[in-house]
Amino acid sequence: MASYMFQKTITSICTCGLQKLLPDLFFCRHCLTLRCDFCVSHEIDTTYCPHCFENLSSTEAKHKKNRCASCLECPRCFNTLSTRSYSRTPEPKKPPQKMYYLLCLFCNWRSHEPSIPDQPTSSGNWPVNKNPNDGRILDLINHYKSVSLKEVFDKQKRNTKHYGRNYMHFLEKFGLNAMMARKRAGLPNFHSDGTGFSTSEISPAEAIENVPELPINIFEDIVDLKQVSTLEQRFATPELQAENTDDLFPIRKHLRVKHSLRCRVCEHNVVKPEYNAVKFKIKHLAYYHVPEIKIIKCEPLVAGKWSSLILKLCNPAQISTAVRFEKLDLNTINIIREPRRLEGEDLIATPKQLPEPIPIVLELHGDIMVPEGEIKIAARDDTAEYDDTNEVNTDNDDPKYVYWRKGNKVALKFEVKPSENLKKNENLQLGFVMHFMYMDTMLHVINQKQPQTVLVPINILLNLPNSL
């Protein structure tokens, strides 16, 4: 069922120039144009664990290195580990004690393999493996930090050399008052000019001549590939990269984020999730505003001959809309991109540089005849489906173009003519522009005006399978 959503038979061209399916698109209500996840800016809303669904604040997540504190992953197959318990009696007279260990229900890995001792609590203070080189790296970092600070000191010293004889302004700059205070207190003096600034010394690494040789038994040992970890398993813990599967330690579950999306041009939210719920505060998906197009019937395509194509349009909005069609003009497709602003819409204070739009390169393989005039589509009404007597006024429709009409759906007749040189088994690519009427309610809220309707153009591409 979901696969029909991914069929790229009918795509829309987003404002940025990418071809996207309607369910992948957003509709910015302020710019009145389509946006896709490539041309909106993503922000991080909340961080959560994909297993226990606990929400973490960004500081907490940062502190825990983006890992969940309670959920663990199998180091061998990356599925979630479960905690198992058993009772044991340490001494005959004492009550039995519950002990816990970890088990992967998928590949049967257990925490005994890297010889992690069983824990007496279910949350388990499972040991955190440490990078064995932590000490040395910390020394290096401190050394380079102090070297870089010394550089700054030296530079300051150079810059302050040529001041006049009056040193009074140094009093505060170098904290001379503080120095006096130190002297009075009998503390050793410190040099503020950097001469006494000592960089923490480290011993530079010693190169060795006797490099590690191949182990003598590497040739004859039988290699059991089950015991040798794969690269994926090694890279899951970059600081350990254990080559033996017995040395793999459980991994803490990596957290995930909920995104909130913002239009880059007008900086209004397009999608905003609700905290702690699988719901949205704001969701301006194109799917809720733009009439959806589906192919119902298509006559066999013959090169150079007109054949009819019937498309069904479905209005998802609660207000009735109208559509008008135009042929796609390849010459102007790259010129007008960012749509006009509405009257009274305040401009953004600081215009910033936006990513360049992607040039649209298209090739159309034929001609299309679109219905003329304006075609009205009724609003969506959820109750209409149960109403058999639901009558739709079809008086104004031109039977030449309107095939049938029911509720918020209308089927329209198009004519397509593949070009003469269409190759066999090549998809027939055709395009048209659909203008649809959008009721702009935002302006009404801000400026106390009547809601106005605008025509929003959308470039639609058809990719008809062709089996001539």
Partner 1 sequence: MKIDSDFLPEKQCIVIDIGTKYTKFGFATEHSPRCIIPTCCEIDGTPISDIYTCKDVQTLTLALTNFIHMLFYKYALVAPKDKKVIIVESLLSPTTFKEILAKVLFITYEVASLCFVPSHCASLFTLGISTGLVLDVGYKEAILIPVCEGVPVLRLWQAMALAGQTVENQIKTRIDIGQLSPDESIDNIAEDIKARTCFVTSLKRSKILATGQNVEPKTSDVEYHINGERSITISGDIRETVHDVLFEENIDEMSITTMILETIINSNVDTRLKLAENIVLIGGTVMAKGFMSRLKEELVEKLKSPKYNNLKITKFKFHIAPAFENYIAWLGGSIFGSTNNLNILSQTRENYINENFVPDWPTTFTRQKIE
User: What is the spatial distance between Cα 152 and Cα 154, in angstroms, rounded to a whole number?
Assistant: 5
- What are the Cα distances from residue 340, in Å, to 16, 220, 325? 15, 75, 20
Residue 52 CB, nearest distance to partner 1 (Å)? 16
DSSP character at residue 22? G
Are 199 and 147 within 8 A, CB to CB? yes
The token pair at 415 is: 């004519």
Regarding 41 and contact with partner 1 (CB under 8 A), the answer is yes
Stretch that binds partner 1, among 102-110, 132-140, 273-281, 315-323 (CB under 8 A): 132-140
- C-beta closer to partner 1: residue 219 or 386: 219
CB 105 within 8 A of CB 91: no
Q: Under the criterion CB under 8 A, does residue 152 sit at the interface with partner 1? A: yes
Distance CA 29, CA 380 (A): 19
Contact 376, 267 (CB under 8 A): no
Of positions 7, 42, 191, 381, contacts partner 1 by CB under 8 A = 42
- Among the residue ranges 234-242, 272-280, 306-314, 318-326, the one whose residues contact partner 1 (CB under 8 A): 234-242
CB 430 within 8 A of CB 450: no
Question: Cβ of residue 47: shortest distance to partner 1, in angstroms?
Answer: 6
Q: Does 38 contact partner 1 by CB under 8 A?
A: yes
Side chain identity at residue 385, one-letter code? E
Closest of 221, 223, 233, 222 to residue 109, by C-alpha: 233
- When asked if residue 246 is in the footprint of partner 1 (CB under 8 A), the reply is no
Report if residue 2 touches partner 1, rule: CB under 8 A: no
Residue whose token pair is 């009205």: 376
Token look-up 């039995």 returns 96
351 is a site residue for partner 1 (CB under 8 A): no
With CB under 8 A as the contact rule, the residue among 1, 2, 223, 278 that binds partner 1 is 223
Residues in the chain: 468
CB of residue 144 to partner 1, shortest distance in Å: 5
**# chain residues binding partner 1, by CB under 8 A:** 70
Is 9 a binding residue for partner 1 by CB under 8 A? The answer is no
Name the residue among 236, 238, 235 with its Cα closest to residue 252: 236
Stretch touching partner 1 by CB under 8 A, among 110-118, 291-299, 347-355, 459-467:
347-355
Exposure of 439 in the CB half-sphere (CA atoms within 13 A):
15
Q: Is 77 in the site for partner 1 (CB under 8 A)?
A: no
Q: Is 4 in the site for partner 1 (CB under 8 A)?
A: no
Selection from 448, 458, 25 nearest residue 263 by Cα: 25
Interface residue with partner 1, options 77, 89, 105, 134 (CB under 8 A): 134
- Binder of partner 1 out of 79, 85, 123, 144 (CB under 8 A): 144
Choose among 242, 240, 253, 254: nearest CA to 129. 240
Q: Which two tokens stand for residue 251?
A: 């991994």
239 vs 374, beta carbon nearer partner 1: 239
Kindly report each contact of residues 134-140 with a partner whose C-beta sits within 8 Å and lies 24 or more positions away, as own/partner: 139/200, 139/202, 140/202
- Under the criterion CB under 8 A, does residue 138 sit at the interface with partner 1? yes
State in angstroms the smallest separation of the CB of 60 from partner 1. 7
Q: Is residue 59 at the binding interface for partner 1, with CB under 8 A as the rule? A: yes
Using the minimum distance from each CB to partner 1, give the nearer residue, 35 or 417.
35
- Residue in 452, 459, 438 with CA at minimum distance from that of residue 28: 438
The residue from 222, 277, 336, 445 that contacts partner 1 (CB under 8 A) is: 222
- Point out which residues bind partner 1 (CB under 8 A): 18-19, 38, 41-44, 47, 58-63, 65-66, 131, 133-134, 136-138, 140-141, 143-145, 147-149, 151-152, 202-205, 207-209, 211-215, 218-223, 225, 228-231, 235, 238-239, 241, 254-257, 259, 353-356, 358-359
